[in-house]
């Protein structure tokens, strides 16, 4: 039974049992566990040849899922942008030993595809290589294809050229290298690598490069700080290189980056990219397009976007050379790990990534999709959106000019306390629900008295808690009462953009007006959204003079004008609520967390905000 068939049957069983549905991985398996005589396929590497063919490399692990043992490098080739794939081909198999960490780069001048890889004895374990008690060490090899990936040369060892004697462990990539397109080092082939120092046992990232079309390889620069290893590089429009690295500093579960202004010979300015959360795992970064005229270029990034575990495979896009990540596409909210990105012929994005039902290592899937772009509701021709207020939560403390942490005060069946609303240092607002002695507490923040607005597009990107008895909410409120009997909701409406009191894959949208007493009125919609219970999702409201339109991940889920559309400014609230609507809090494993990546408010330029 194929992975796809197993997954669909499992999803159907969950649905029949009334449990949360699970969205299937976007794309189709290229490699599946147990096929072609291999126990497991891992470590994807994707590249596009000079003639436009796609090459999907992987490690074929013969006996088990283990990183150690009898491991070969395999490839499948596609000539139709990943719609179909040719038969699996073995690129390098040294029986009994480990050939792995594929990292491919294409020389656009010669058409040659270079594959950099590492080797070690199959009976040597990583810990023994690091301790220098192994029978051999990690060695570095290069293979080439001069016929668009159809056939491959024998491996050639280059260890003495690219590995210092004081290093023990060594890895190429994995994933993709780059060829520099601009500047004094134009044409240079750059391969991301990592190593461990023998004396200190410190992990570092570094690169190797070739200036003669792959004929010889030299050691480039090492990162200034340690606690990083698997990495990929991208060339920036200003001529610098950016190295994006797996981070082992557990104080911050985000990626680290470093920069080079000499083609990778040296690296500096190493720091955390707090927008790119990670569970300690490999990731991929690639140039999609260069800036042209007034149009910005685009860089794409993929990884399991979770601080807790390897899940939620997400592709992000940056339109300011990696400074911020304005758009995202979740390929699979379930178990997922390593990935490799490529810009495809015709402008689509390709992602080769590990995914499974119970663990990430059941298959390697290829997905093809348009470049992710920030979703904004359509406007009339000639109109445009303008960002008027936002918080990306990139600091270490809540911005008091934007937010008030609510508390300490009773709320429903519990208490809102200020200490349960905080920033986690990785680019997220966290609202925590916990048990404190004999009481339950949670967090809430609001912009009342700091920011209030009317009309436009309001959105928040969120990750939900997982336990019963409490629920997250993103809502808008007037500073005064919600409406009056004379004008219904026009003089003030509570707009619940999102509430999620259920563990199932659905959210609540609602409007409340005419106060909270005996004249209270409301209208709502339960929107079923497959996969919404796992991973990150964006919730939006387009508020016009005529109606409210609600969105989840850019898809319309409700359209209404119930109660008369509110005409007065509203402020933002993000809250964790405790009460029986969500089940029994006594059944919850606490603490539990509601995380928010950003909140943004857009107004139509010259539009409705000026009519207030």
Whose tokens are 């072609």? That residue is 36
Distance CA 571, CA 596 (A): 17
Q: Has residue 7 got a pLDDT over 80?
A: no
To the query of whether residue 67 is one of the catalytic residues in this protein, the response is yes
Query: CA-based Rg of the chain, rounded to a whole angstrom?
Result: 26
Kindly report, residue by residue over 366-384, the tens digit of the pLDDT. 999 999 998 999 999 889 9
With beta carbons less than 8 A apart as the criterion, state whether 195 and 167 touch.
Answer: yes
Q: Estimate to the nearest angstrom the gap between the alpha carbon of 364 and the chain centroid.
A: 17
With beta carbons less than 8 A apart as the criterion, state whether 306 and 279 touch.
Answer: yes
87: its two tokens: 């038969």
Buried/exposed 188-198: b ≥16 CB within 10 Å, e otherwise: bbbbbbbbbbb
Tell me what the pLDDT averaged over the chain comes to: 93
Q: Has residue 520 got a pLDDT over 60?
A: yes
Catalytic residue among 338, 353, 361, 457: 338
With beta carbons less than 8 A apart as the criterion, state whether 58 and 368 touch.
Answer: no
Cβ neighbourhood burial of 99 (10 Å; 0-12, 13-18, 19+): buried
Tell whether the torsion through CA atoms of 344, 348, 349 and 353 is positive or negative: negative
Which of the four pLDDT bands, split at 50, 70 and 90, describes residue 427? confident
Q: Has residue 2 got a pLDDT over 60?
A: no
Domains present along the chain, CATH in parentheses: 3-369 (2.120.10.10), 385-611 (2.60.120.200)
Kindly report, residue by residue over 191-229, the tens digit of the pLDDT. 999 999 999 999 999 999 999 999 999 999 999 999 999
Query: Any idea how long the chain is?
Result: 612
Catalytic residue among 67, 225, 249, 320: 67
Which of the four pLDDT bands, split at 50, 70 and 90, describes residue 251? confident
pLDDT score recorded for residue 395: 87
- In the chain, % of residues over pLDDT 90: 82
- Identify which has the larger pLDDT, 312 or 571: 571
Angle at 462 between CA 419 and CA 304, to 5 degrees: 110
Q: Is residue 174 reached through a cis peptide bond, with omega within 30 degrees of 0 on the bond before it?
A: yes
pTM: 0.79
Catalytic residue among 70, 230, 354, 576: 354
With beta carbons less than 8 A apart as the criterion, state whether 180 and 151 touch.
Answer: no
DSSP state of 37: G
To the query of whether residue 494 is one of the catalytic residues in this protein, the response is no
Kindly report, residue by residue over 449-493, the tens digit of the pLDDT. 999 999 999 999 999 999 999 999 999 999 876 665 455 567 789
To the query of whether residue 261 is one of the catalytic residues in this protein, the response is no
- Spell out where 164-211 has E strands: 167-172, 175-176, 178-179, 189-197, 203-210
Buried/exposed 301-323: b ≥16 CB within 10 Å, e otherwise: bbbbbbbeebbbbbbbbbbebbe
């Amino acid at each position: 039974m194929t992975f796809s068939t197993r997954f669909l049957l499992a999803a159907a069983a969950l649905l029949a049992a009334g449990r949360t549905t699970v969205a299937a991985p976007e794309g189709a398996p290229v490699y599946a566990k147990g096929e072609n005589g291999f126990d497991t396929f891992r470590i994807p590497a994707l590249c596009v040849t000079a003639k436009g063919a796609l090459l999907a490399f992987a490690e074929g692990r013969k006996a088990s899922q283990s990183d150690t043992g009898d491991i070969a490098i395999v490839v499948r080739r596609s000539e139709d942008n990943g719609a179909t794939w040719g038969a699996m081909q073995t690129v390098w198999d040294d029986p009994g030993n480990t050939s792995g960490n594929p990292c491919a780069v294409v020389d656009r001048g010669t058409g040659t595809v270079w594959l950099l890889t590492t080797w070690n004895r199959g009976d040597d374990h990583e810990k023994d290589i690091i301790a220098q008690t192994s029978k051999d060490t990690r060695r570095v090899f290069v293979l080439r294809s001069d016929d668009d990936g159809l056939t491959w040369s024998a491996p050639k060892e280059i260890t003495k050229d690219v590995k210092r004697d004081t290093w023990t462990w060594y890895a190429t990539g994995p994933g993709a290298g780059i060829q520099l397109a601009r500047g004094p080092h134009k044409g240079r082939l750059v391969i991301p690598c990592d190593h461990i120092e023998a004396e200190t046992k410190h992990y570092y990232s570094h690169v190797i490069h070739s200036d003669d079309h792959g004929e010889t390889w030299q050691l480039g620069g090492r990162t200034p700080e340690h606690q990083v290893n698997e990495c990929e590089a991208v060339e920036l429009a200003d001529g610098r290189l950016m190295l994006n690295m797996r981070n082992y500093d557990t104080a911050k579960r985000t990626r680290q980056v470093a920069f080079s202004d000499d083609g990778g010979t040296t690296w500096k300015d190493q720091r955390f990219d707090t927008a790119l959360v990670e569970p300690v795992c490999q990731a991929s970064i690639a140039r999609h397009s260069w800036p042209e005229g007034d149009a910005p270029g685009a860089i794409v990034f993929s990884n399991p976007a979770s601080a807790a575990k390897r899940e939620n495979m997400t592709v992000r896009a940056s339109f300011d050379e990696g400074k911020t990540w304005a758009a995202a596409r979740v390929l699979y909210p379930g178990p997922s790990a390593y990935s490799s990105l490529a810009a495809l012929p015709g402008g689509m994005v390709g992602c080769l990534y590990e995914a499974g039902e119970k663990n990430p290592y059941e298959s390697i899937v290829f997905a093809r999709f348009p470049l992710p772009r920030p979703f904004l509701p359509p406007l009339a021709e000639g109109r445009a959106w303008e960002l008027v207020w936002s918080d990306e939560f990139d600091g270490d403390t809540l911005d008091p000019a934007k937010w008030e942490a609510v508390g300490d005060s009773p709320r429903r069946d519990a208490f809102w306390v200020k200490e349960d609303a905080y920033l986690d240092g990785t680019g997220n607002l966290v609202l925590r629900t916990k048990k404190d002695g004999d009481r339950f507490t949670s967090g809430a923040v609001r912009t009342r008295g700091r920011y209030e607005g009317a009309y436009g597009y309001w959105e928040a990107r969120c990750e939900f808690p997982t336990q019963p008895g409490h629920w997250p909410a993103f809502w808008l409120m007037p500073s005064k009462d919600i409406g009056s009997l004379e004008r219904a909701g026009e003089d003030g409406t509570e707009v619940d953009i999102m509430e999620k009191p259920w563990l199932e894959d659905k959210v609540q949208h609602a409007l409340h007006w005419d106060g909270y007493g005996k004249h209270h009125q409301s209208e709502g919609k339960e929107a079923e959204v497959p996969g919404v219970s796992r991973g990150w999702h964006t919730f939006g409201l387009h508020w016009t003079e005529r109606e409210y339109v609600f969105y989840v991940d850019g898809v319309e889920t409700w359209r209404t004008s119930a109660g008369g559309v509110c005409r007065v400014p509203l402020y933002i609230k993000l809250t964790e609520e405790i009460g029986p609507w969500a089940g029994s809090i006594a059944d919850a494993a606490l603490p539990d967390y509601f995380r928010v990546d950003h909140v943004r408010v857009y107004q139509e330029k010259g539009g409705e905000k000026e009519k207030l």
